[in-house]
Structure 1
Amino acid sequence: MGKLTDVIKHLIIINVIMFIIPQLLQMDLTNILALHFPKNEHFGVWQYVTHIFMHGGFYHILFNMYGLWAFGSPLEQMWGKNKFLFFYFSAGIGAGIIYTLVNYYQFNGIYDQLIHLGVTPTEIQNILETGKYNEAIITLSNKDMSQFYSLYHSPAVGASGAIYGILVAFGIAFPNAKLALIFFPVPIAAKYFIPLMIAADLFFGVTKYSIGNVAHFAHIGGALIGFLIAWYWKKNQFRIN
Structure 2
Amino acid sequence: MPPPEIPQDNPRIPWLPRLRVRLPGADIATALVVVLIATHWIVERAGGPAFVPNLFIHLGLTWEGVRSWGVWQIITYALLHGGWFHLIVNVLMLWLVGGRVIHILGYRGWLKVVVSGVVLGGLLHLLTSAVLVSNGFQEFRLVGISGACYALLITLTTLSPDSRMWPIPITGKNLGLGLIFSELFLWLMRPELGIPWFSAMGLRLVDMGGGSLFYISHACHFGGAIAGWWLARKLLAPTPSLADLRQMRAEREKGIGMDEA
TM-score calculated relative to the size of structure 2: 0.68
**Matched residues in 2 for 1:47 and 1:194: separation?**
28
**Contact 1:161 1:223 (8 Å CA) reproduced:** yes
Matched, 1:77 2:98: no
Residue type matched to 1:197 in 2? L
1:49 and 1:203, CA in 2 relative to 1: closer, same or farther beyond 3 A?
same
- Determine helix, strand or coil for the equivalent of 1:20: helix
**Matched residues in 2 for 1:219 and 1:91: separation?**
9
In structure 1, the partner of 2:36 is 15
Listed as ranges, the matches of 1:6-45 within 5 Å are 6-26=27-47, 28=52, 29-38=55-64, 44-45=70-71
**Matched residues in 1 for 2:229 and 2:184: separation?**
15
TM-score calculated relative to the size of structure 1: 0.73
In structure 2, the partner of 1:115 is none
**Contact 2:62 2:129 (8 Å CA) reproduced:** no
In structure 1, the partner of 2:246 is none
In structure 2, the partner of 1:230 is 232
Listed as ranges, the matches of 1:157-236 within 5 Å are 157-180=143-166, 186-207=168-189, 208=202, 209=205, 211-212=212-213, 213-235=215-237
5+ unaligned residues in a row in structure 1: which ranges? Answer: 111-144
More divergent stretch after superposition (72-81 vs 39-48): 39-48
Residue type matched to 2:152 in 1? I
5+ unaligned residues in a row in structure 2: which ranges? Answer: 1-20, 190-201, 206-210, 240-261
- Displacement, 1:228? 1.3
Q: Which has the higher contact order (CA 8 A, sep 6+)?
A: 1
**Matched residues in 2 for 1:104 and 1:42: separation?**
13
**Matched residues in 2 for 1:105 and 1:200: separation?**
21
What is the number of residues matched between the two proteins? 193
In structure 2, the partner of 1:155 is 141
Matched, 1:60 2:86: yes
- Displacement, 1:48? 0.8
In structure 2, the partner of 1:91 is 117
**Matched residues in 2 for 1:170 and 1:156: separation?**
25
**Contact 2:154 2:225 (8 Å CA) reproduced:** yes
Residue type matched to 1:16 in 2? I
- Displacement, 1:39? 5.9
After superposition, the C-alpha distances for 1:94-151 in whole angstroms (9 at most, x for unaligned) are 110122123223433x2xxxxxxxxxxxxxxxxxxxxxxxxxxxxxxxxxx5xx12x1
**Contact 1:198 1:220 (8 Å CA) reproduced:** yes
Instruction: Report percent identity of matched pairs.
Output: 24
**Matched residues in 2 for 1:21 and 1:42: separation?**
27
**Matched residues in 2 for 1:225 and 1:40: separation?**
21
RMSD: 2.1
**Matched residues in 1 for 2:95 and 2:117: separation?**
16
More divergent stretch after superposition (207-216 vs 69-78): 207-216
- Displacement, 1:40? 7.4
In structure 2, the partner of 1:3 is 23
**Contact 1:31 1:42 (8 Å CA) reproduced:** no
**Contact 2:124 2:219 (8 Å CA) reproduced:** yes
Specify the structure having the higher radius of gyration (Cα).
2
Q: Which has the higher strand share?
A: 1
**Matched residues in 2 for 1:167 and 1:67: separation?**
8
